[in-house]
């Protein structure tokens, strides 16, 4: 999936964590998260960093994709909760600032266009 920030496409590939196991494990077990990768967790308002090896930026979104808050550089063994959030986008530490994501930005997670088809 692709990431759009305030209408412009960002150079980030997004993976969705929709199933229970994907949501539970998240980024655990990875040694790092590349700056061009992200994990989106829909229907989520709280994350944990238990057993993680690196810090991340967590972008908490409302139901329309508006950024409620950015928790930058969350270190391992911490938690973060935003009760009004409806989903969370996890990025490499520092990536939110680099991409210009801040409170009240609008973030869209867009499915890749289908291959083939035609006109």
Residue 25 lies in a domain: yes
64 within domain boundaries: yes
Q: Is residue 102 part of a domain?
A: yes
Res. 119: pLDDT tops 50: no
Helix, strand, or coil (residue 105): coil
Mean per-residue pLDDT for 53-65?
A: 97
Answer whether residue 1 shows pLDDT above 60: yes
Residue 75 located in a structural domain: yes
pLDDT classification of 112: cutoffs 50, 70, 90: confident
User: Could you give the residue ranges of the DSSP H alpha helices within 2-116?
Assistant: 20-25, 95-99
Burial class (CB in 10 A: 0-12, 13-18, 19+), 35: middle
Question: Is the separation of the CB atoms in 29 and 22 below 8 Å?
Answer: no
Task: Report the C-alpha gap between 58 and 94 in whole angstroms.
Answer: 10
Domains of the chain: total = 1
What is the DSSP-derived secondary structure letter of residue 20?
H
The whole-model pTM stands at 0.92
pLDDT tens readout for residues 73-93: 999 999 999 999 999 999 999
**Structural domain harbouring 71:** 2-110
Q: What is the pLDDT of residues 10-44, one digit of tens each?
A: 999 999 999 999 998 999 989 999 999 999 999 99
118 falls within a domain:
no
- The CATH code of the domain that includes 15 is 2.60.120.1140
114 has a pLDDT exceeding 80: no
Give the number of other CB atoms < 10 A from CB of residue 11: 9
Candidates 7, 21, 5, 9; CA nearest to 70 is: 5
- Residue 94 maps to a domain: yes
Average pLDDT in the chain: 94
H helices present in the chain, as ranges? 20-25, 95-99
Question: Does 116 reside within a domain?
Answer: no
In a domain, 115, yes or no: no
């Amino acid at each position: 999936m692709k990431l759009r920030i305030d209408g412009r496409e960002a150079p980030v590939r997004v993976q969705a964590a929709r199933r229970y196991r994907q949501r539970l494990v998240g980024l655990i077990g990875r040694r790092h998260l590349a700056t061009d990768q992200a994990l989106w967790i829909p229907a989520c308002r709280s994350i944990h960093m238990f057993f993680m090896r690196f810090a991340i930026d967590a972008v908490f979104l409302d139901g329309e994709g508006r950024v409620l808050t950015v928790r930058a550089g969350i270190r391992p063994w911490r938690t973060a909760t935003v009760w009004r959030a409806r989903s969370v986008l996890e990025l490499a530490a520092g990536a939110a600032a680099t991409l210009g994501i801040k409170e009240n930005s609008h973030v869209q997670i867009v499915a890749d266009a289908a291959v083939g088809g035609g006109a």
